[in-house]
Each structure stands twice: as C-alpha cells, then as structure tokens.
C-alpha cells in the first residue's frame, strides 16, 4: 500500500508555484500539454526569447562598452552589462538544477508525510508558506518599482535621443525615429523580462533554505519532548527516537540537495553585488541626470542588497538550528529510558555534532558574516573611488 501525499494546503513545496509558472513561461520548465502544435510553438517561442534576452542583449551591451569614453557611461553601463551577464548565467544554472529542485519537493514530501498529523508541524508549514509568499511579494514590489522608474528614465532618454543602454547593432539605429524608438523599446522590454526573471531567480534559494530551517525546527521540537509525556511507555519513546533519526537523515539529504541547487546562484550573487552596489552609489553621487534617474539607481541598489541579504539570513538560521539539534537531544528525558534507547541516543548525538553550513560556489559560507563582509568591501571600494572623484566628474 503506497503512502498518500500531503494535502495541498500542507505541501510546503507549493510555496514555489509562482516560480514554476514563470520558469515555464521562460521555457526552462517543460510545458504540460499533449498537443504537439502547442509544444512546438512553446519550444520555438522559448528559443527566440532566450536568443533575444539571454544571448543578444548582454552580447550587444558588451560590444557597446568599447565605444564608451566618459567615466560616467563606462561605470553605468558596466554595472548594467554585468547584471545582464549574471542573469543569463543564473538562467543556465536554474535550467541545469531544475531536476534537483523537483527532487527537493519529493524529499520534503517524504518528511511531511510522517509529521502531517502533528499540529505544531502543520503550524510550521503554514508559517513557511505564508512568509515565503510575503517574501516573494516584497521582491515583486521592490523590483517592480525599479522597473517602473527605469521606464520613466527611458522616456526621458528617448526625448533627448539617447539609448536606454548604449549597445551594438548591425544597422544604423538613427536611420529613422521609428527605428530608434523600436531599439529603445526592445532594450526596455528585454531588461524588464530579465528583471522579472531575477525576482524568481533571486528568491528561490532563500525559500528553499527557509524550508530546510522549518523542517529542522519541527524535528528539534519533536526531539526535545521525548520522554516528557508520562502517558508514553519507554518503548514508544524509543520508536519516536528512531523516527527522529530517520527524519534527521531525510533533512541531511534535503540539505545536500538544496546546497547543490543554490550554491552556483549564490556565488554569482555574492560575486557582483559589491561592485554593482558601488556603481549605484557612484552614479547617484556624481552622475545623476534627473530625479527619475537618481530614484531608479536607488531602487536598483536596494535590489542588489536584497539579493544576498535573505540567503545570508537563512544561512545563519540553518547553522543555528542544526546546532539546536544537539541541544534538543540533551533536553529530552534520555536518562530515564531503556539501554537500547540510550545506545541509539548516543549515536544520534554524535552525528548531530557535525557542523554543516551552506556555501556559495563551495568557496564562501552563506551567513550573516559573509553579508557583512560584502557590505564592508562595498564601502572600501567606494572610499577608494571617492578619492578619484575629481577625475570621475571630468
């Protein structure tokens, strides 16, 4: 007899439903249709979309960089170009790791099947889904504000006959006013789609890490209560410990899979966040052309800060909760249990002493200290550039 899946309102992985739908729109997730024409049209659409947005957009910006002379244009477009390249890299990383993400859903379901009858567990899962939704909405609002301000900035630039981002085209964009506006609209639409993609690329690592933290909290709460219920026999407590040991193994499998899925994306975020934040501060300080331009780069700077802030927070929360497992074992009523219980307890305790942490690119730990290091390096780079402010203004 097969075990039933958790009910839809209990299934924690449903917190990624918005993400999966948008990934399907981007062509990263296979469309669920038996109609051959629809599948072929979807495939053709995804190929054209990825060529225009993930290949030509960053490529023409890189080539356009070589024609820039003024420091303002170089700094501004270098920041935008690096962001487009990193978004393209994140698209590839997500496509490569999509199978792992679905595997995370399956592992999570295995854990949830065992705890679905416990009220505290249900509360933790609902809390996870509610906060994950708020977290995604926060990114939608901030990134949406950034894209709206970018639209106003584009309108101002079109009025002065300037591109949204200077780039290379195999034809003369000044041959007519219509061609020039079409080029600017292409850049803005492509940039907007990439910005929307970043909402779902930048939120899923933190959501998966939060999922793992909630599973750990459920397990730790269950462990700490072993032996304190006087209505349970020592044999029942022994079974609960065995179940907790099984859950610990599931959670460690979940940790490994999530770590593999988020490592490359997190590394890309940490790699460019300092430089992009500095570029935004420099542009706001020295090169702002109008209020829309300044507000756009202020919103963009907040987006860059948010990209690494939440994964750093949940990385630290995971480290705290994995340490809490040892504490929960210590606080259970182990000393009044059977010899077999104590033997299993000692093995579990020894396994819980191992240290685990998420890492970005298997190089740097993902936690609050790393995030503070990014902010410190940001200030150091800005202080260095500030010494050349006279040259920047010229």
d(CA 291, CA 176): 29
pLDDT tens track for 90-117: 899 889 888 889 999 888 888 887 776 6
Q: What is the mean pLDDT of residues 173-180?
A: 85
- Per-residue pLDDT tens for 21-39? 999 888 888 787 778 888 8
Instruction: Pick the range with the lowest mean pLDDT from 237-246, 264-273, 351-360.
Output: 264-273
Burial of 349 (0-12, 13-18, 19+ CB in 10 A): middle
Query: 360: helix, coil or strand?
Result: strand
Question: 359-360 and 364-365 as β-strands: parallel, antiparallel, unpaired?
Answer: antiparallel
Per residue in 260-283, pLDDT tens?
Answer: 988 888 888 888 888 888 888 888
Domain ranges of the chain: 54-393
Token pair listed for 187: 């850049």
Count CB atoms within 10 A of the CB of residue 144: 16
The tens digit of pLDDT for each residue in 282-319 reads 888 877 767 777 888 888 889 888 989 999 999 999 99
Confidence of residue 3 (pLDDT cuts 50, 70, 90): very low
Q: Mean pLDDT lowest for which of 75-79, 165-169, 336-340, 385-389? A: 385-389
Question: Which residues are bridge partners to 360 per DSSP?
Answer: 364
Per residue in 63-91, pLDDT (tens digit) is: 888 887 777 777 778 878 888 888 898 89
Alpha carbon distance 162, 203 (integer Å): 33
């Amino acid at each position: 007899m097969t075990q039933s899946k958790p009910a839809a309102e209990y299934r924690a992985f449903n917190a990624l439903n918005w993400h999966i739908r948008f990934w399907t729109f981007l062509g990263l997730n296979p469309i669920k249709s038996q109609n051959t024409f629809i599948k072929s049209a979807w495939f053709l659409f995804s190929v054209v979309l990825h060529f225009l947005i993930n290949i030509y957009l960053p490529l023409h910006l890189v080539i356009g960089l070589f024609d820039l002379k003024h420091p303002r244009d170089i700094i501004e477009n270098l920041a935008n170009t690096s962001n487009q390249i990193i978004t393209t890299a994140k698209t590839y990383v997500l496509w490569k790791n999509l199978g792992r993400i679905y595997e995370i859903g399956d592992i999570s379901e295995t854990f949830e099947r065992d705890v679905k009858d416990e009220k505290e567990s249900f509360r933790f899962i609902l809390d996870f889904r509610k906060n994950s939704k708020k977290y995604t909405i926060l990114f939608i609002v901030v990134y949406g504000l950034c894209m709206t301000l970018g639209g106003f900035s584009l309108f101002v630039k079109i009025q002065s006959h300037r591109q949204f981002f200077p780039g290379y085209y195999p034809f003369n964009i000044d041959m007519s006013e219509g061609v020039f506006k079409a080029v600017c609209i292409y850049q803005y639409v492509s940039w907007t789609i990439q910005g929307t993609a970043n909402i779902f690329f930048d939120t899923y690592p933190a959501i998966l890490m939060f999922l793992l933290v909630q599973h750990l909290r459920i397990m730790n709460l269950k462990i700490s209560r072993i032996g304190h219920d006087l209505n349970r026999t020592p044999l029942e407590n022994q079974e609960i410990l065995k179940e907790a040991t099984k859950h610990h193994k599931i959670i460690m499998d979940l940790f490994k899979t999530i770590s593999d899925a988020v490592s490359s994306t997190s590394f890309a975020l940490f790699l460019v966040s300092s430089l992009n934040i500095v570029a935004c501060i420099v542009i706001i300080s020295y090169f702002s052309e109008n209020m829309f331009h300044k507000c756009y780069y202020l919103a963009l700077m907040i987006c860059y800060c948010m990209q690494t802030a939440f994964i750093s927070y949940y990385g630290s929360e995971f480290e705290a909760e994995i340490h809490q497992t040892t504490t929960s074992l210590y606080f259970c009523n182990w000393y009044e249990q059977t010899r077999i219980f104590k033997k299993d307890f000692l093995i579990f305790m020894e396994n819980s002493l191992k240290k685990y942490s998420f890492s970005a690119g298997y190089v740097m730990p993902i936690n609050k200290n790393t995030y503070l290091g990014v902010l410190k390096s940001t200030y150091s780079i800005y202080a260095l550039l500030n010494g050349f402010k006279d040259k920047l203004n010229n």
